[in-house]
Structure 1
Amino acid sequence: MKPTPLFILSVFLVFCNVNAQDSLSTNVPPEILFKKPTQNNFSISPDGKYFVEVVENNIEIDIVVIDIDSYSLFKRIPVGHTAIQNVYWLSSKRLIYESLGEIFAIDIDGTNATLIVDRMADQLTRDLYKLHENIRVNGVVNLLHSNKNEILIQTYDYSGYCSIKRVNIFTGQKITVIDGKYEKIHRWILDSEGNIRLGIRYNDTGYDYLVRSSKNNKWEQFYLKMDNQDIPLKIDATSYLSQNVNFEGFGLEEDIIYITTNLNSDKRQLISYDLAKEKVVDILVEDPNCDVNDPHGRDISFIYDFSNGDLAGIRFESIAPYFKWFSPKMSSYHASLNKKHPDYINDIIGSDSNGDRLLIHQWSDTNAGNIGVYKVKEDAYYVMFYFNEELNNYKLSKTKIVIAKARDDFRIPCYVTLPIHYSNSEPIPLVVIPHGGPWARDYWELDSYAHYFSNRGYATLRVNFRGSTGFGKEHVLSGVNSIDEVMINDIADATNFAIEKYNLDANSTFIFGHSYGGYAVYMSLLKYPDLYAKGVAVSAPSDIKAWLKTQKKEDNYFAYEFWNFALGSKKAKYLNEISPIHYAQDYKKPLLIFHGKNDEVISVEQAEEMFFELKKYNKDVKLEILQKEGHSILDSYSLGYILDASNDFFIQNQSHVLSD
């Protein structure tokens, strides 16, 4: 198609927007910083002609189809008010999508809409007391492109068992391939051809990977043969943090699976393993700084070249996003994108069937980014839409990667964000933001909390203290049995490191955290009253003994056993020793506490009782209960309220110190 002048102008404007930001000097409103995206489920049609996305708003949900060549809207298809979980291409003219357990098909022009699979069981009970047993939740697991008439679906029953069925997309006829209730299997793992290879069976404290025995045809524990050992593939609460083998998925080649393991190394490696030969084939990726995939955090991404049927590359979270390429062709495409758009991470998230057009997610630590299409033959990039365009009008600070040293010389990966107009000539205030979990990690990304404070003149520090995941066995296991010691000391050491390196104001150093981060606020103010001026704790536990008791009472066996292992003891004396509530009389610095009334992870009573204890000793503390929120504060305006109140709290009486 020959480009029109209007099209050329629109592309010019797109590229201007991709490569530049306005620099508004006003503070970024928190409701913009924390604005949730309304678009999801992005993909390109097999022939590369159409881009599709799902757009959600308060009124309706639409499937939006864009003609890539004309760079114009092809069709906006209203599909009702219920959420869409996944969208797939049956062909270049027809889509299939999942919505709350039902599966629909529809043409890209909005016609021929069909309900393929409903939420009801194949055989219904009429017993009024068992009507709930009729409900099913369905999802597509393989489109069976070699068979144009059928798809494979997974069906979950009311007990949580999963069956695999073949469904005729024209007649709706369903044929059960395997019955999950009969086999007592809660999830099935299929290879790329749709063959059932592994099953997962849950128990109170974890789950097991199972394989069908060739001897008795029963599903039995799956073992990997590595280093002359038979290693069971399973997840257990008491061994979760030291888990040394994790299943990542099936490859395109028959019998090849991908495993991450730290069996012979401190950092987790990605390996390929041959099921038929029962041996390791190759070490695909290893990183001296980080685990290749953090099983407790973000997943690894496998980038395939479907035109050749090959694994093209791996993308995972190192200290910053990292790519390892096996395909010279795909590597060259990625290099071209990086050269044209050096300020962005260019994630390849999809392609057409020939690999001529790649779907790209562009983003950075200062820009919410966009979704676009890269035409490889033209070496040209076309933006389909922008995430959070309002935010992109503000100039945000870059995030620095720094390695702090703990008192024992242990290396602590951190992220520092300085105000845009920072100069080393005069000290500025610092906000330390310990992450939750604590078995999680911080990432190099557009972190809204860090940007809120840096945008208002603070330096911010995010610390991957020992116990954080993703940095190797030694790093994570050093934090076990020490949530109140090593973790808190590492945060303090990193804080002192940052103060010295960037000439920060030691008298205006604050700490702000959510969940475990809030617990870290409590313990940091307690242990280091001369380091931190004030603290804000959001959704934080204060009485570990009472919290563990609640987990056991509510039958959260995995969480209960996991935390018994992670804490090192369930004895009352020890749990009291690591609970901030028992040291209320020792606090010297002001505290601001927020908690959601509907928090089902850490009950609001934890905040209320901490507040009452502090007040009993006339400490400077304020508690605010958010009536509509749970553990994770989801509403951007609620987050804005918390952050604005925290900012005001930090600004006022910065040098104020309470007496004993």
Structure 2
Amino acid sequence: MIKNILLFTCLLCVFSTVVAQDSIPEPVPIEVLLKKNNRHTFSISPDGKYFAQVVEDDFTSDLIIVDIDGYKLYKEISMGPKSIDDIVWLSSKRIMYESSGEILAIDIDGNNSIKLVNRLADKLTKDSYKQHKNYRYNTVVSLLPEEENEILIETYDYNIYASLKKVNIFTGEKITIIEGKKHKVNKWIVDAYGNPRFALKFEDKQITQFEYNSEQNELFPFSVFVDGTEFSLTIDGESYLNQSVLFEGFGYDPNIVYLTSNHGSDKRQLISYNLKDKKVENILVEDAICDVKDPHGRDIDFIFDYSKGELAGIKYEGLTPQYKWFSSLYGEIAAKLNTAYNGYLNDIIDADAKNERFLIHQWSDNNAGNIGIYDISDNSYAVMFHFNDELNKYKLSKTKSIVINTRDDKKIACYLNLPLQDTSSEKPIPLVVIPHGGPWSRDYWEFDDFSQYFASRGYATLRVNFRGSTGFGKSHLLAGVSSIDKIMINDIVDATREVIEKYAIDQKNVFLFGHSYGGYATYMSLLKYPDVFAAGVAVSAPTDIKDWMKFQKKEKNYFSYEFWDKALGYNNSKYLDEISPINYTKDFEKPLLIFHGKYDKIIPIEQAREMAKLLKENKKNVKLEVMQYEGHTIYDSNGLGYILNTSNKFFEKH
């Protein structure tokens, strides 16, 4: 079945490399919008002749190999119930893959399957009460470019201590390089050549980074010097919000590491740092509006040219995704693709050994996107598959990046989606404001399911990077400390009012829909600004902050407790009562719809139940729906679809 689907898709791609969107007027069906992607781990062979991907459902996995030259399926290798976590090309005809802690290899024609590393310890105990000590979890760390027949793996024992081992891919012989138990290390960081350089220890209250001295086989606390100031890279809950320097990775120069730092700058910059000389070499990337790296959100994407052994470029999240190219070849490829496919972003995710064919992830804010092959010999682009063909038939809303002014004259970055409707219509548009969770996170310019759902049903949607959001500088972030119920809420309301003023928004039909902190913001916005909002939906939201802090201590979530203690401004019990929506249930004027997962381990279900109970006792318009199979995040697309459809009906009613 998969074979037939793939062949049909390939035939379509010959005639249409990028699916054009048709103007289907009806709303996008929820099952189409939230259709889960079952493809991952995309790669191109060293000789550039084969494309590999993993296709999984709930019960089986398949390794799909496509002949790029013939533009046809080469082999579909069924893995049965075995999951595939990652794949690595050992040669152009053989693939190594990870599966639930095992490391295996197979030829691309499905033959010569072998288990290189199993999940058992090298020495087994026969004590029936200690059988758990026999199990290991393994992952590939490096192909060891200077040792052709060996790979470097990291293996975790039952205490989550990490050891490094060399494995011969032909004989299976394993040699332990570093014993994790001796150093009590939970994670090793190696350089581009597979040499262990740093170690991480995860403790209850902090994460500590050490430098590894291979000659002495010892760990030493790691610190760096920026502008003459020494910084430790130890992270704890209290310091997490204003960590000045963060380690990001190695390049090909063993003396150079990449760091991000906002020391001496409001915005976090990407810098190269010389370990030998203990000094900053260069500022590689900086942005006037955004942090180059959001330590609480998405990572920087380092794009390496493996054929030349150099950094080719950087992708980071600005107001929109941004790229800086150090390689003229990679920059030219990106420019050509951007010109040929205007409106799409083209991420280079892999290349063959000679830099002749490149694997591209092509996407936009209103298209599910595709994976394709760019060939520099003829500047052609061939789509391997589309992520959601059915969705791409619908014309979806474009995302506007806008900046609004707050009441105290600050600039706030927001994302606005307008519904697709007759532009000549003078009918005002209802608005759904979608505060993000965290709150120490941010919204991005991207394909946003919630925004597209409501926009396709006639709403405008607004996502606000209120102060306290990450990614917009130190001052923007720290302004939210001790103000989750004030500045954050005021920024959301100020953005809403400006959008109402500048666009044809129906002032009587402005709603809130939020998850986690976004649900808390829904409560507080309805409570403080009933003149602005007509109704709200709160999903997995905290209601009693004091009780929730007690829960953190009870569960021994020390890092989280110290983080929130700092974020709330080390405030006392009285203050925690003041910022808790549950203490104002008699003051709510507008209708509320509450959803909460029964198995939520982050915000206990009791928070929602007690909130709904008190609102009902005060004769308020509230309904609680408990998602019987969910936790804090709603993973089931059907359950999420139910929440969205029910919320839409709720908004229509009110």
Whole-Å separation in 2 of the counterparts to 1:207 and 1:342: 43
| Alpha-carbon distance, 1:13 to partner | 4.8
SS in 2 for 1:569: coil
Report the identity percentage: 57
Equivalent residues of 2:146, 2:193 under 8 A apart: no
TM-score w.r.t. length of structure 2: 0.97
Contact map agreement 2:536 2:593 (CA 8 A) in 1: yes
Task: Give the structure 2 partner of residue 340 of structure 1.
Answer: 340
Say yes or no: does 1:322 pair with 2:322: yes
1:205-229, Cα deviation, whole Å (9 max, x unpaired): 1211101359975312101022112
Contact 1:467 1:479 in 2 (8 A): yes
Q: 1:651 and 1:627 mapped to 2: Cα distance?
A: 25
Separation (CA, whole Å) in 1 of partners of 2:223 and 2:345: 38
CA–CA distance in structure 2, aligned partners of residues 12 and 201 of structure 1: 50
Query: For the Cα contact (< 8 Å) 1:525–1:589, is it kept in 2?
Result: yes
SS across alignment from 1:552: helix
CA change 1:13–1:202 in 2 (3 A) is: closer
- Secondary structure of 1:368's aligned partner: strand
Question: After the TM superposition, which of the residue ranges 207-216 and 639-648 deviates more from structure 2?
Answer: 207-216
Matching residue of 1:432? 433
What letter is aligned with 2:374? Answer: Y
Q: Could you list the runs of 5+ residues in structure 2 that have no partner in the other structure? A: 1-6
Partner of 1:141: 141
Quickly say closer, same or farther: Cα 1:213–1:356, change in 2 above 3 A.
Answer: closer
Alignment match, 1:358: 358
User: Per-residue deviation at 1:444?
Assistant: 0.4
Q: CA offset at residue 121 of structure 1? A: 0.7
Q: CA deviation at 1:51?
A: 0.4
Q: What secondary structure is seen at the aligned counterpart in 1 of 2:633?
A: coil
- Tell me: CA distance 1:228–1:9, structure 2 relative to 1, closer, same or farther (3 Å): closer
CA contact (8 A) 1:19 1:341 kept: no
Letter in 1 for 2:428: P
- TM-score (norm: length of structure 1): 0.96
Q: Residue 166 of structure 1: SS of its match in structure 2?
A: strand
Aligned counterparts, 1:414-493, within 5 A: 414-421=414-421, 423=423, 425-493=426-494
Letter in 1 for 2:532: L
1:261-272 equivalences in 2 (<5 Å): 261-272=261-272
| Counterpart for residue 28 of structure 1 | 28
Taking only aligned residues, the RMSD between alpha carbons, in angstroms, comes to 1.6
The letter for the 2-side match of 1:355 is N
Q: Does 1:372 align with 2:344?
A: no
The answer as to 2:648 corresponding to 1:644 is no
Separation of aligned partners in 1, 2:447 and 2:10: 27
Cα shift at 1:244? 1.0
Report the counterpart of residue 406 of structure 2 in structure 1: 406
Map residues 562-641 of structure 1 onto 2, 5 A cutoff: 562-641=563-642
Q: What is the SS of the residue equivalent to 2:570? A: coil
Q: Deviations over 1:420-478 (max 9, x none)?
A: 11537331100000000101100001100001001000000000000100010011110
Aligned residue for 1:157?
157
CA contact (8 A) 2:296 2:440 kept: yes
How far apart, CA to CA, are the structure 1 residues paired with 2:205 and 2:385? 43
2:254 maps to a residue whose letter is: E
Secondary structure of the corresponding residue to residue 625 of structure 1: strand
SS in 2 for 1:241: helix
CA distance in 1, matches of 2:225, 2:402: 39
Q: Does 1:246 align with 2:217?
A: no
Per-residue deviation at 1:569?
A: 2.5
The change in CA–CA distance for 1:551 and 1:323 in structure 2 (over 3 A counts) is same
Matches within 5 A, 1:60-71: 60-71=60-71
2:328 partner letter? P
CA distance in 2, matches of 1:571, 1:58: 47
Matched-pair contact (CA < 8 Å) for 1:11–1:382: no
Aligned equivalents of 1:453, 1:112: Cα separation in 2: 51
Partner of 1:494: 495
- Kept in 2: contact 1:585–1:617 (CA 8 A): yes
Find the aligned partners of 1:51 and 1:159 in 2 and give their Cα distance: 38
1:658 is aligned to none
Question: Matches of 2:227 and 2:172 in 1, distance apart?
Answer: 48
Residue number in structure 2 paired with 1:392: 392
Which deviates more from structure 2 when the two are superposed, residues 530-539 or residues 198-207?
Answer: 198-207
The CA distance in 1 between the partners of 2:187 and 2:500, in whole Å, is: 50
Amino acid at match of 1:546: D
Question: Structure 2 vs 1, CA of residues 32 and 19 (structure 1 numbering), >3 Å: closer, same or farther?
Answer: closer
Paired position in structure 1 for 2:3: none
SS of residue in 1 equivalent to 2:242 = coil
CA distance in 1, matches of 2:213, 2:50: 45
Contact 2:42–2:51, Cα closer than 8 Å, also in 1: yes
Q: 1:232, 1:213 → 2: CA distance?
A: 18
| Counterpart-to-counterpart distance in 2, 1:102 and 1:8 | 34
Deviations 1:341-399 (A, max 9, x none): 11210001111111111110000011000001100111010101110111111110101
Deviations 1:144-199 (A, max 9, x none): 23322211000011101100000111221111000111011111000000000011
The yes-or-no answer on 1:106 pairing with 2:81 is no
For 1:628 and 1:207, locate their aligned partners in 2 and report how far apart those are by CA, in whole Å: 33
Whether the 8 Å CA contact 1:21–1:395 is kept in 2: the answer is yes
> Match for 1:360: what amino acid?
I
- State the shift of 1:418 in Å: 0.2
Provide Cα deviations, 1:25-72, integer angstroms capped at 9, x if missing partner: 111112221221100000000111100000002341000000110000
Shift of 1:254: 2.1
- Answer yes or no: is the 8 Å Cα contact 1:465–1:490 preserved in 2: yes
CA–CA separation in structure 1 for the residues paired with 2:588 and 2:580: 13
Cα–Cα, structure 1 residues 646 and 147, in superposed 2: closer, same or farther, change >3 Å? same
Q: Is the 8 A contact 2:164 2:178 kept in 1?
A: yes
Residue 15 and residue 243 in structure 1: after superposition, are their counterparts in 2 closer, same or farther (change >3 A)? farther
CA shift for structure 1 position 500: 0.5
In structure 2, the residue matched to 1:657 is: none
Determine helix, strand or coil for the equivalent of 2:18. helix
Cα drift, residue 332 of structure 1: 0.8
Q: Distance in 1 between matches of 2:144 and 2:422?
A: 56
1:218 is aligned to: 218
Letter in 1 for 2:63: I
Q: 1:19: Cα distance to partner?
A: 5.1
Amino acid at match of 2:605: V
User: How far apart, CA to CA, are the structure 1 residues paired with 2:309 and 2:537?
Assistant: 52
Q: Distance in 2 between matches of 1:218 and 1:304?
A: 31
Q: How many residues align?
A: 647
Letter in 1 for 2:495: A
CA distance in 2, matches of 1:155, 1:389: 40
Instruction: Give the letter aligned to residue 282 of structure 1.
Output: N
Deviation for aligned residue 1:403? 0.2
Deviation track 1:249-285 (CA, whole Å, cap 9, x = no partner) reads: 0011221110011001111100111111111111100
* CA 314–126 in structure 1, closer or farther in 2 if over 3 Å, else same: same
Contact 1:257–1:274 at 8 Å: present in 2 too? yes
Tell me, yes or no, if the aligned pair for 2:17 and 2:381 is still in contact at 8 Å.
no
Q: Per the alignment, in what secondary structure is the counterpart of residue 487 of structure 1? A: helix
